[in-house]
Structure formats: structure tokens, C-alpha cells
Amino acid sequence: MEVRRGSLAACTILAFVLLVPGVSLGKNLGDGITTESNGTWTIALYVDADCNLEMYWEDPSLPYLLNIPASDGLNIVAVVDWLSEDGVERVEISGGCYETVETYPEMNFGDGDTFQWFLTEVNTYYPADHLVVIPWDHGSAWRGFCWDDSSDGDCITLQEMEDAIVGAGVYIDILAFDACSCSSIEMAYQAAQTGLVELLVASEELVAGDGFPYDLMFTPVALDPSRTPDQVAADMVDGWIQAYEPLSWAWYCTLGVVDVMEIADGLGVLTDWVAQMTDGLLDYTYNYRIALRDSYYVSCGSHYQVDMVDLGRHLMDDPELAEDIELMETTQAMMDLIEGAVKYVYNTDTTAACGGVSIYWGSHNDAWRIHYEEYCTVSFADDTGWGEFLVLYNLLTCGWMRISK
């Protein structure tokens, strides 16, 4: 499908029919047919296509969005920064129709101020009972998201994200990342600091270039806008499963739903766990190495994100560590917190160890030596003491993973 950028109005009627297993359409979704609404939703995409992913916005992301049936209770808007052309456009999408409603000068989509402007624009022009915000681009857990190639590779840091959401004052029912590795404790905790985000939908792992299957994810809410945020978040995971489970190459395609406020409420649990891990460093350095070695690493390996629940399992399976009652109690409490906050998670056989949320454990690599000062300023690392723990751990281990005692 060809999309004509920059046009004031472009309407494409799709020639294929979306079939969603388990969802009854109830009526012909042909031209001019819309669903009735008992509520309203806005799906707003912050599309940083000013990078090497630009082709994936044109196909398949945009066709997926165009395949969502029109609905009186659903707005779909995307604000798009292109790599191949100067300028930014705001487009509205409904039932196969694509319309450019506003154009703007070139912007830095890797700047938190631009993200705040986007949220304000969405709230101004598309107010609704519920809001889904979807940053679209590269992501990298604690390092941020939306790298803008035309702005010296600038990206939105977690602190910039928090400041943007608070500055816009917009409540986000679902913050969903069509970007890699964003289901991290650092991201969830930072989102929770705003007090304005309810659910995080993201992957611990890499996200395929095809990204979110938007039609499978959002057709249910188009047909029934009275669906709750919990239901829509679950629909997103169900749509993801329908798209990726049949694909043999999609071994890494995990996706989950995290209640970020439960993460915030569990600050004391996380801090206690970190304190016990730190207290045991001198005695258990070797044991920590083993647990870290055996835990599930996210494929974005240069940043050393490890699954929190799987890490906890390996800590608790260590016979020597099991004798430390306080460490075991705080580790179990950490695992209970994460498993309780993760409301729904899909894993492939390969990612079966994933519990839904990763944590950074930088060690034994140049990336840690380069980035440790930056990481220690991340809110989660600073507030819980995890950044200090990693510094001490690396001092003790000299950054090597060789298993020797």
C-alpha cells in the first residue's frame, strides 16, 4: 500500500478482511459502518520514524492501524517525524482512512520537551475517557527511547519522560512501547513516579521490525469502547499472541502488562531486597555471579538486562544463600511484588523464564564502565540503592564473570 505523505487528505480503503479469533464482529464492517459507543478512547502514537525504522512505519504499522474498524468511541492519531523528509505531520486514522490534519516544522523527537508537546496536543484535540500512548521507535530499558537520527541521535531519557508526562498533566491509562526492552523495573518505576500512568504494556526483549499488530490489538475496543483499561491491555497481549505465536522465527517475542502503581507501592520491598543483597556482597560475591550467569538475559545484551523473577529463582536455589533467612525473605518478597504487578505476560518456549520485568545488572563489560555513572542517576537505581550495589559488586569482581572461588 502506498501512503502519500504531506497530503491534506488521503483515504485508503483496505481490500482485506480482519478476522480476530474469539471476537464476533456482529455486523458487516463495510464502508460507512461504525460501532456504537458507551465510552471513548484515544490511541496516540508518537512515531519517531526519523531513524532506520522508517520503512516499518509505512509497512506494516500504518496498514495495521488502517485495518482497525471505524468507531464512534475511538480516536486514532499519530504524530510522525520522518527521516526521508523534513517536517512533522499529525495524521488521523479511521476505518481505512488516513488524513493529514496538520503539519509542523522539523522537531527533535528524542527530546522530552517534544514528547510533552505531543501529549498536550493529544489532550487538546482528542480528549477521551481513556488514553493509550505509544512511543514508536528504538527502546533500551533504562537508557530511554526514541533516538532521533536528525538530532545527533538524541533520545528521551527516563527522567525526561517523567517530566514530560507531569508537565503535560495528562493521565495515561496505558503507556505502551512499540520499542525494544522497555518492560524494565527502571521504566516501570519511573512511569509510576508521575502518578499519571496506570499500566505499562511492553516487552522485556527485542521487538521485531513488524512491531505491534495494531489491528489485532485494538479491534476489540473499536467494537466495544466500554472496555476497561485492564481489558484493552489484555487485548493487546492477545493480539500479539495471534500475530507472533505461529511464527517460528519469533522466539524472542514476549510481551506483558505491568501495573506500575504496584511497583511504586512496593518501593520498601525493593529497597529491603537491595539492602540485603548489598549486606551479603562480601560473603556471596561468587554466589551472585552464579545466579547472574544462569538467569535469563535480554537479547539486548550490551545493556545487561536480566529478568527479575528468574534472577530471584536462581538466588533462592543456591543452598548457601538459602541459609541466609533475611536474604531469602526479601528475595521472595521481591519476586512476589513483580509477579503481582505483572498482570499478564506471554512468553515463547525460549523466553519461558521471563517474569515480565527486567533489571539492569551491568558487569564484566565496557558498557558498564562507560555508563555506570549515568545509570546511578536513574530514579530506581538511586532510590533503592541498586546503583551503589552494582558499583560495589563490580569493584569486588573487577568486572569479570569467570567462575572461580
| pLDDT, tens only, 163-199 | 999 999 999 999 999 999 999 999 999 999 999 999 9
Q: Is the pLDDT of residue 1 over 90?
A: no
Please name every residue paired with 47 in a beta bridge, in sequence order, or none if there are none. Answer: 80, 136
- Positive/negative CA dihedral, 147, 216, 132, 92: positive
> What is the pLDDT at residue 18?
38
pLDDT tens-digit map of 215-251: 999 999 999 999 999 999 999 999 999 999 999 999 9
Under the banding of pLDDT at 50, 70 and 90, the label for residue 298 is: confident
Yes or no: say if 385 and 274 are a contact pair by the CB < 8 Å rule: yes
> What is the pLDDT at residue 38?
61
> What is the pLDDT at residue 364?
59
In the chain, where are the structural domains located?
Answer: 36-263, 265-344+351-397
CA distance 371 to 141: 13
Q: Is the pLDDT of residue 258 over 60?
A: yes
Class of domain 36-263: alpha beta
Under the banding of pLDDT at 50, 70 and 90, the label for residue 76 is: very high
Under the banding of pLDDT at 50, 70 and 90, the label for residue 304 is: confident
Residues of the chain with pLDDT > 90: what percent? 82
CA distance 123 to 188: 22
Nearest to 110 by CA among 77, 57, 150: 150
Q: Is the pLDDT of residue 6 over 70?
A: no
Distances (CA, A) of 395 to 282, 289, 290, 386: 11, 13, 17, 14
pTM: 0.90
pLDDT tens-digit map of 97-121: 999 999 999 999 999 999 999 999 9
Q: 26-31 — which CB contacts under 8 Å span 24+ positions?
A: 26/223, 29/69, 29/95
> What is the pLDDT at residue 130?
98
pLDDT (mean) for 316-333: 98
> What is the pLDDT at residue 149?
94
